[in-house]
């Protein structure tokens, strides 16, 4: 099992390419999407206290990197958490959301130390699958033979595009 220090270091390494502003936008947008709301550019500009044009430019950059889904309503998907329906349903502390992939569903539920339920289907056979979390820990699964399928590096480079 990975230690908290190792997890923190891995997270920082994964996000080292983000500017401070992009990190602020990521956090603000994630919080709004987690609350079940599209994060509008106006809301985000207010939260990070920067001009709207600058926020739009940064959101466009994050979108090009495959880290944000942005439509006419605002940011509807950010770092794996989505308001847009996908095959990976995540009930997070009582709120119905979606994730871009199975790994996002598990990681978000555990990382936020949430009460959650994931509903998805097996990539291989299509069988329905449910995983329940209590305080970020798995407490029940619909089948004991659960596996997480991951693509090799380089394949499926954009979880957003592959969803």
Sorted by where each begins, the domain ranges of the chain are 4-77, 82-162
Using alpha carbons, select from 60, 23, 64 the residue that is nearest to residue 41. 60
- Model confidence pLDDT, tens digit, residues 25-40: 999 999 999 999 999 9
pLDDT at 46: 97
Write out the CATH class of domain 4-77. mainly alpha
pLDDT band at 66 (very low <50, low <70, confident <90, very high): confident
pLDDT at 80: 92
Average pLDDT of the chain is: 87
Characterize 101-126 residue by residue with b for buried, 16 or more Cβ atoms within 10 angstroms of its Cβ, and e for exposed.
bbebbbebbeebebbbbbbbeeeeee
**CA–CA separation, 101 vs 84, rounded Å?**
12
Using alpha carbons, select from 70, 74, 100, 92 the residue that is nearest to residue 136. 92
Decide which of 102 and 5 is more confident.
102
What is the reported pTM? 0.82
Lowest mean pLDDT among 10-14, 34-38, 81-85, 111-115: 10-14
Residue carrying the six token digits 């994964």: 14
CA 137 to the chain's CA centroid: 17
- Model confidence pLDDT, tens digit, residues 128-139: 999 999 999 999
Domain 82-162 has CATH 3.30.160.40: no
Kindly state the percentage of the chain with pLDDT values over 70: 82
What's the mean pLDDT in 73-81? 95
pLDDT at 5: 74
**CA–CA separation, 147 vs 41, rounded Å?**
38
Decide which of 102 and 10 is more confident.
102
């Amino acid at each position: 099992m990975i230690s908290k220090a190792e997890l923190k270091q891995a997270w920082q390494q994964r996000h080292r390419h983000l500017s401070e502003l992009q990190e602020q936008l990521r956090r603000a947008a994630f919080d709004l999407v987690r609350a079940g709301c599209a994060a509008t550019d106006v809301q985000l500009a207010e939260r990070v206290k920067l001009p709207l044009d600058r926020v739009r430019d940064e959101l466009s950059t994050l979108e090009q990197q495959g880290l944000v889904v942005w439509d006419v309503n605002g940011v509807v998907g950010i770092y794996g958490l989505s308001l847009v329906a996908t095959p990976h349903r995540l009930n997070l502390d009582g709120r119905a959301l979606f994730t871009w992939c199975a790994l996002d569903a598990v990681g978000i539920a555990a990382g936020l130390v949430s009460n959650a339920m994931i509903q998805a289907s097996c990539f291989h056979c299509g069988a329905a699958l449910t995983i329940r979390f209590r305080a970020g820990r798995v407490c029940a699964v619909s089948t004991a033979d659960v596996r997480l399928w991951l693509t090799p590096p380089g394949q499926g480079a954009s979880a957003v595009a592959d969803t």
